[in-house]
Structure 1
């Protein structure tokens, strides 16, 4: 039973809870970058007008 549980996780030493918390943080950083890029694109398009 214990061996099957370790096979499911990418690394037995890594805590799955830590793995889950790191994934949303990276996506949040990407979303913030996209928002900043969208603001820059919006300001540049306004300048062209």
Structure 2
């Protein structure tokens, strides 16, 4: 559960410390999602 991981490890809400995610598959997935979100914002602007 992501909420539990964030509480347990003290990760910031913006997931700026993805390299500290202890599970490789999860770390890679979160990195891909954040990259896609960054591209979305670049192309379409921030969500409303």
TM-score by length of 2: 0.46
- Whichever of the two has the greater Rg, that structure is 1
User: Which one scores higher on RCO, CA 8 angstroms, separation ≥ 6?
Assistant: 2
